[in-house]
């Protein structure tokens, strides 16, 4: 069952950047890689540093995939699924996103 929660307006996320939003017990990093309406959502906690910083990371492309580099220790996490490039033991949660009425919504059902 879907459990959609509105986090922010799409226009609140500057293209090429990330923002952090609280959703239930989760701190979620939202990334909008470009001016399109595509948004990705990952857990905001960097598993290497145990700090809430991933939303401040740098978005980049590697081998046709979009990644975010942690601003602290520079590990890379794939935006579509949270895979850690350097060590799969440190993969992070990803969340399903939809845009509805200009708002970014996250599915919190697990």
b/e string for 74-90 if b means 16 or more Cβ within 10 A? ebbbbbeebbbeeeeee
What is the pLDDT averaged over residues 10-31?
96
Q: Which pLDDT tens digit goes with each residue over 65-83? A: 999 999 999 999 999 999 9
What DSSP string describes 36-57? SS--EEEESEETTTTEE-GGGS
Provide the pLDDT confidence category of residue 84 given band limits of 50, 70 and 90.
very high
Could you tell me the pTM of the whole model? 0.94
| Average pLDDT along the chain | 95
Q: Flag whether pLDDT at 1 surpasses 80.
A: no
In this predicted structure, what is the pLDDT of residue 109?
84
Comparing 5-9, 23-27, 45-49, 93-97, the range with the smallest average pLDDT is: 23-27
DSSP structure class, residue 84: B
CATH for 4-107 is 2.102.10.10
């Amino acid at each position: 069952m879907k459990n959609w929660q509105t986090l922010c307006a799409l226009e609140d996320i500057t293209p090429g950047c990330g923002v952090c939003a609280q959703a239930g017990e989760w701190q979620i990093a939202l990334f909008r890689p470009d001016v399109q309406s595509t948004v990705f959502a990952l857990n905001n906690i960097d598993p290497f540093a145990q700090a809430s910083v991933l939303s401040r990371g740098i978005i980049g492309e590697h081998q046709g995939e979009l990644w975010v580099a942690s601003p602290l220790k520079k590990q890379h996490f794939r935006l579509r699924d949270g895979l850690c490039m350097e060590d799969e033991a440190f993969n992070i949660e990803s969340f399903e996103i939809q845009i509805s009425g200009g708002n970014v919504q996250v599915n919190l059902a697990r």
